[in-house]
Structure 1
Amino acid sequence: MLDRYTIKMVRKPLELMTTKINQMNIKADSITLMGFALGVFAFIAIAFQWYGLGLLFILGNRIFDGLDGAVARLQGISDAGGFLDITLDFIFYSLIPFAFVLALPQENAVAGAFLIFSFIGTGSSFLAFATLASKRKIENPVYRSKSLYYIGGLAEGTETIAFLVLLCLLPHYFSELAIGFSLLCWITTFSRIWAGYHTLKNAQQTPENTVPKNNESL
Structure 2
Amino acid sequence: MASGGGLTQVGVHKVFTGAGCNRIVNNVSWGACNLVSFGPQNAVAIFSPESAQILATLPGHKAYVNCTHWLPSNKFSFKAKHLKRHYLLSGDVDGVIILWELSLVDKKWRNVLQVPEAHKKGVTCFSAIMASHSDAIFASTSSDGTVKLWEVIFPSSSAGDCRFSCLDSITVGKKPMVALSLMDFPGNSHYLALAMGGLDNKIHSYSVERTGNSSMPVN
- The reply to whether TM is greater than 0.5 is no
Which of the pair is proportionally richer in strand?
2
Higher relative contact order (CA 8 A, sep 6+): 1
Structure with greater helix share of residues: 1
What TM-score bracket applies, with the shorter chain setting the length? under 0.3
